[in-house]
Chains A and B, each alone.
Chain A
């Protein structure tokens, strides 16, 4: 048995390249991802490392697909000891589609959760906040106020 995939779609007035750059340039994620920066060559088979503001590695994963600026897929694994580490790897995929009128549809799919999963409830709360912040940043130049307490965000139901 496995828990349902998590899917979140957001439409952004921007370009596919701008979405790709925000996700991969190593520092822009800090503005909308609870301060996390990332490091990777984004080449298939290489590793991506997400760091918390204090420098600790929050999660890491192998790059499975990288087709800039349209599709990126990588593993999602907590290296620090604990239940999230023990759950093993899940998979994060971004599909970035340019539509008419200068609008991009970004589809985030997070898959590969066992039943029961200790990782899925947290990512269900986190992705809507992160991707809402990404949309704000790309459309207004400003991230959402960095005051959103993730513990007060209700879980997204399986969709």
Chain B
């Protein structure tokens, strides 16, 4: 596989199974994904969607690889992509045991086209918030209070 364009990671005191369940649960996803709901199939070729609270589809993608509880690789197509339609994106989540009782979650982005620095900055903030929110839920049992991520200025 190509080298990812960006990688974010966080270490969480939990099990791979608990993190996987949270990451793939439509019911729980709004607590860590800006209120959005994730709908995901169980096999490669199935749909992968991110649906806003308004019902609008933010991401209309598909499952490329799914290996519970360690790897989820999805196509990430944004119908309203501000950088233009048809831009291929992929996101891969990897969950690895880092130590007894601690897992490492990493998220890799594959873009295949250049992404402006302002969008990289916004992505870094957004993913950081998602990873921080997952960690808070798993370690404290309650979600991180809602935070509005900044938007790119250009």
Q: Is the CB of A9 within 8 A of B125?
A: yes
The residue on A at minimum CB distance from B11 is: A132
The number of A-B residue pairs with CB atoms under 8 Å apart is: 90
Which residues from B are CB-within-8-Å of A147? 99-102
The winner among A10, A132, A135, A154 for most chain B CB atoms within 10 A is: A132
Q: State which residues 128-152 of A face B: CB under 8 Å.
A: 128-129, 132-133, 135-136, 139-140, 144-145, 147-149, 152
Is A7 within 8 A of B124, CB to CB? Answer: yes
Contact present for A11 and B128 (CB under 8 Å): yes
- A101 x B99 contact (CB < 8 A): no
Cβ 8 A contact of B132, one of A100, A102, A135, A145: A135
**Interface-lining segment among B37-45, B50-58, B133-141:** B133-141
Across the interface, do A103 and B13 meet the contact criterion of CB distance under 8 Å? no
- Tell whether A13 is near chain B: CB-to-CB under 8 Å: yes
**Is A159 positioned at the interface, with any CB of B under 8 Å from its CB?**
yes
- Of the residues B101, B104, B106, B125, contact of A145 by C-beta under 8 Å: B101
Interface majority SS (helix, strand, loop, mixed), chain A: mixed
A11-B133, A135-B132 in contact; A149/B145 too (CB < 8 A)? no
For window 1-31 of A, CB contacts with B under 8 Å fall at 7-13
Digitize A39-70: 1 where CB-to-B-CB distance is under 8 Å, 0 elsewhere: 00000000000000000000000000000000
Chain B residues lying within 8 Å of A140, measured Cβ to Cβ, are 139-140
Asked if A80 is an interface residue, CB under 8 A from chain B, the answer is: no
Q: Decide if A99 is an interface residue (CB 8 Å cutoff).
A: yes
Residues of A within 8 A of B8 (CB): 156, 159
B13 contact from A8, A99, A144, Cβ within 8 A: A144
Q: Please, how many angstroms separate the alpha-carbon atoms of A11 and B4 in the complex?
A: 24
> What's the dominant secondary structure at chain B's contact region?
mixed
- Could you tell me the distance between the alpha carbons of A17 and B55 in the complex, rounded to whole angstroms? 39
Contact B7 A159 (CB under 8 A): yes
B148 on the A face (CB < 8 A): yes
Q: Is B102 a contact of A13 with CB atoms below 8 Å? A: no
A103 neighbours in B (Cβ, 8 Å): 144-145, 147
Q: Quick check: B128 and A149 within 8 Å, CB to CB?
A: no
Give the distance in Å from the alpha carbon of A128 to the alpha carbon of B144 in the complex. 19
Contact present for B145 and A101 (CB under 8 Å) = yes
Q: Which of B6, B100, B120, B135 has the most CB of A within 10 A?
A: B135
Q: Give the residues from 82 to 109 in chain B that come closer than 8 angstroms, CB to CB, to chain A.
A: 98-102, 104, 106
Bound Cα distance from A153 to B13, whole angstroms: 15
A148 pairs with B10, CB closer than 8 A: no
Residues of B within 8 A of A7 (CB): 124
Q: Specify which chain B residues have a CB less than 8 angstroms from the CB of A100 in the assembled complex.
A: 145-148
11 residue pairs from A and B, CB less than 8 Å apart: A99-B147, A101-B147, A132-B12, A132-B135, A133-B11, A145-B100, A145-B102, A154-B9, A154-B106, A156-B9, A159-B120
- 9 tightest Cβ-Cβ pairs between the two chains A and B: A101-B145, A9-B128, A132-B11, A11-B132, A147-B99, A157-B7, A148-B99, A128-B9, A103-B147
